[in-house]
Amino acid sequence: MDLFDRTIFLMSKVLDLRSARHEVVATNIANAETPGYAAFDFVFEDELKKTVQSSKAQGLARTNPKHFPQGASVGSVAGSVEPSDTTFTGGDGNSVNVEREMVKLAENSLLYEATVQMLTRKFQNLKHIIREGR
Q: How far apart are CA 111 and CA 109, in angstroms?
A: 5
Q: 86 lies in a domain? A: yes
Q: How far apart are CA 62 and CA 106, in angstroms?
A: 38
Half-sphere exposure of 15 (CA within 13 A, CB side): 14
Q: Give the total residue count for the chain.
A: 134
Which pTM was predicted? 0.79
Could you give phi then psi for residue 114, rounded to 5 degrees?
A: -60, -40
pLDDT tens for 77-124 read: 999 999 988 777 777 889 999 999 999 999 999 999 999 999 999 999
Q: How far apart are CA 18 and CA 22, in angstroms?
A: 6
Helix (H) / strand (E) element for 43: namely: strand 40-43
Q: 125 lies in a domain? A: yes
Q: Is the pLDDT of residue 67 over 70?
A: no
Domain limits at 96? 6-44+79-130
Query: What is the amino acid identity at position 65?
Result: P
Q: 89 lies in a domain? A: yes
State the total domains in the chain. 1
Structure confidence at residue 70 as a pLDDT band (50, 70, 90): low
Q: 14 lies in a domain? A: yes
Q: What is the pLDDT of residue 90?
A: 73
